[in-house]
Amino acid sequence: MEDVAKVYESELYSIWSRQDFTAKLKTITGDEIEILDSGSLDEESAGPDFKQARIRIGNFTFVGDIEIDKDYSDWKKHGHNIDNKYNSVVLHASLFNKNLQPYVYTKDGRKVPTIVLTDFLHESILKKIKSSQREIAEDNDSKLRCSHLNRDINFSIKNDLILHFGVDRFKKKCERVYERLKELAFLKQNKINEPVIRYELTPEFKDRIFTPDDFKDKILWQQLFHEMVFEALGYSKNKSIMQKLAQSVDIELITRLGHDSNFIVRIESLFFHVAGLMPEIKLNSDTSDYVKKLAEEWEILQRVYDGEKYDETQWHFFKLRPQNFPTVRIAGGARFIESLLYGGLIENIIKKIDEIRNPKVLINSLRSLFVIPSDGYWQKHFVFEEKSESEVKYFVGASRADEILVNVILPFFSVYFDVFGKTELSKKILKIYNIYQQKSDNKIVRDVAEGLGMSEYIKHTVYSQGMIELFRSYCSKNKCLECEIGKIVFN
C-alpha cells in the first residue's frame, strides 16, 4: 500500500506542477488563490515538496514553499509542525480535510492557509484516489514522522534508545503485575468479593507496606496468572473483556466445582454463559449435543454463580481471523485453567526456570507449555453451530504462545522471584527477555523498525518491545521533541 500512496503523491506533484485543476483554487475560508509560480519539486532533501513558489492570496503575494499531503492530519503526523524546515511554507494542500480546518501551524507559530485539492480535481482522478483512501490512511497509522530525517543519526544512538525503552517496558509490565498482586491480596484479606462489589482502594491500601507473607496464598498467584493469560488470549480487541471474564469466573469459584472427566465442558459452560456468547436453544431444533451439554451444565452452575454477566455485543469478532475469535480463545482458556489448577503449571514453570541452564532450551520448553492443540467440538467450529470449512488446529498456536511468554510468563515470574527473594532466578528471567527471539511481529514494530532502519531487529523481543514503547509513549502522542531522536532531527 505504501507503493500505491507514492504513486498518488507522484501524480499529485505532477498535477500541481501543471496546475491541472478544474476550477480556480480557493482556501477553505474562501480566499481566491493565484499561482504565479508553482515552485520547483524537491525530491532530494527532506523538507517541503515544492520550493520557492510564488502565490497570491487575496491582495497579498507570498514567496515560499508548498507542502502537499494526502490528509490534513498528515501535517502533524509527519512532524511538519515541529520541523524548522517547514517554517518557510506559505500554502498547505491536502486531498482530504474531514473537519475543514482552515490552517496549519509551523514550528515558529505562523498559521498557513490550507486548501482541499479534491474540490479542484478531475472526476477520474477522484475515483481512483477515493477508492484507496481508507487503505492508505490505515497503512500510515504507525509511520514515524522522522522516517525521512533520522537516517544520518549514529546507529548507536538509536540502538541504545530502543534497548532502553525495551527494558523500561518490561519494568512497567512487572510493576503492573505487582500492583494487581497487591490488590488481590488486599481484597482477599478484607473479604471483598470482586467484581460483584465495586470498590475504591482505600488510603489503608495505598499506605500499606506489603511483605512476602501477604503473598503466600497460592490462590493469589493462580488468580493473577488466570487474569493475565486470559487478557493475553483476547488480543488487542478483546483483552479487556477477557480479563473481566477471568475476574468474574475466578479461581476460587472454579476450584469449588471439583475436577472430573466432565471438567472442561463444565468450565466452558460457565465461561460461555457468563460471557453472553451461548446461542439460544429452541425446542425441536437441530442443536448439537455439545451445545445441549453446555446448557445442561448451566442449569446447575447458575445456582452457584451470582456474579456479573456480559453480553455478546461486548465482544469483537469483526476484522479478526477466525482462529482469534473469542469463542476459540475461551475454549483454549478452559484447557489452560485445567493445567493451572490440576496440572501443576506454575510449579512446572518454576522447576524449568530453576533447572534448565541453556537459555534457548529453556525458552523452547516454556513456549511449548502454552501451545494448546484443539480438540472436540472446536476443531470444526469457530462460532457456535456453524461448521467451519477449515479445521481449527490450535486453540493457542506458537505465535500466541510467544506473546504469552513475553507479556505474561516473564514479568509474572520476575515479580514472583523478586517477592520471595530469589534474586538469581529473577536475573535469569531478565536475561531470557534480553535474548528472546519471537516468531511473530506486528505492524507497529515493522513500521517503527523500517522508519529507524532497524528492520533486522524486529524478531528480537527486547528491541520489538522497545519499538512499541517508543511508538506508544512518544510517536503516537506527538511527543517528538521529548524523544532523543526527535530532539536531534527536528532541531
pLDDT in tens, 280-289: 877 557 889 9
Instruction: Considering only the C-alpha atoms of the chain, give the largest distance between any 2 of them, rounded to a whole number of Å.
Output: 86
Q: Are 228 and 408 in contact (CB under 8 A)?
A: yes
Q: What is the rounded CA–CA span in Å between residue 71 and residue 55? A: 22
Query: Which pLDDT score is estimated for 180?
Result: 95
Q: What is the rounded CA–CA span in Å between residue 427 and residue 424? A: 5
Query: Which pLDDT score is estimated for 276?
Result: 96
Q: What is the rounded CA–CA span in Å between residue 251 and residue 220? A: 9
Q: What is the rounded CA–CA span in Å between residue 354 and residue 108? A: 58
Q: What is the rounded CA–CA span in Å between residue 225 and residue 354? A: 19
Query: Which pLDDT score is estimated for 8?
Result: 58
The conformation of residue 59, written as its DSSP 8-state character, comes to T
pLDDT band of 124, cuts 50, 70, 90: confident
Mean pLDDT of 46-67: 91
Owner of C-alpha cell 473481566: 244
Quick check: 192 pLDDT over 80? no
Quick check: 5 pLDDT over 80? no
Reading the block at residue 241, the C-alpha cell is 473483556
Helices and strands of the chain, counted as H and E runs: 20, 11
Q: Are 102 and 28 in contact (CB under 8 A)?
A: yes
Q: What is the rounded CA–CA span in Å between residue 461 and residue 441? A: 9
Mean pLDDT of 50-75: 91
Q: Are 441 and 461 in contact (CB under 8 A)?
A: no
Quick check: 434 pLDDT over 80? yes
- Please name which of 4, 453, 369, 421 lies closest in space to residue 211, comparing C-alpha atoms: 421
Q: Amino acid identity, residue 4?
A: V
Quick check: 127 pLDDT over 90? no
Query: Which pLDDT score is estimated for 76?
Result: 86
What is the per-residue pLDDT across 20-32, written as a single tens digit (0 to 9) for each?
888 899 999 999 9
pLDDT band of 1, cuts 50, 70, 90: very low
Mean pLDDT of 216-241: 95
Mean pLDDT of 260-286: 90
Quick check: 469 pLDDT over 60? yes
Name, in order, each residue with C-beta under 8 angstroms of 407's C-beta and a sequence gap of 6 or more.
173, 228, 232
Q: What is the rounded CA–CA span in Å between residue 402 and residue 439? A: 7
Mean pLDDT of 2-10: 50
Quick check: 105 pLDDT over 50? yes
Task: Give the three-class secondary structure for 205.
Answer: helix
Query: Which pLDDT score is estimated for 9?
Result: 66
Mean pLDDT, the chain, integer: 89
Query: Which pLDDT score is estimated for 419?
Result: 97
Query: Which pLDDT score is estimated for 143?
Result: 75
Which has more pLDDT, 384 or 283? Answer: 384
Query: Which pLDDT score is estimated for 200?
Result: 60
Mean pLDDT of 232-244: 92
Query: Which pLDDT score is estimated for 204?
Result: 78
- Please name which of 254, 351, 356 lies closest in space to residue 305, comparing C-alpha atoms: 254
Q: Which residues pair with 387 in a beta bridge?
A: 381
Quick check: 3 pLDDT over 60? no
Name, in order, each residue with C-beta under 8 angstroms of 84's C-beta and a sequence gap of 6 or more.
107, 490, 491
Q: Are 438 and 402 in contact (CB under 8 A)?
A: yes
The conformation of residue 443, written as its DSSP 8-state character, comes to H
- Give the long-range contacts of residues 352-356, CB within 8 A, separation 24 or more: 353/413, 353/425, 353/428, 353/429, 354/425
What is the per-residue pLDDT across 312-341, written as a single tens digit (0 to 9) for each?
999 999 878 898 999 999 999 999 999 999
pLDDT band of 141, cuts 50, 70, 90: low
Quick check: 481 pLDDT over 70? yes
| Inter-helix orientation angle 289-301/263-275, to 10° | 80
pLDDT band of 190, cuts 50, 70, 90: confident
Query: Which pLDDT score is estimated for 134?
Result: 46
Owner of C-alpha cell 534448565: 356
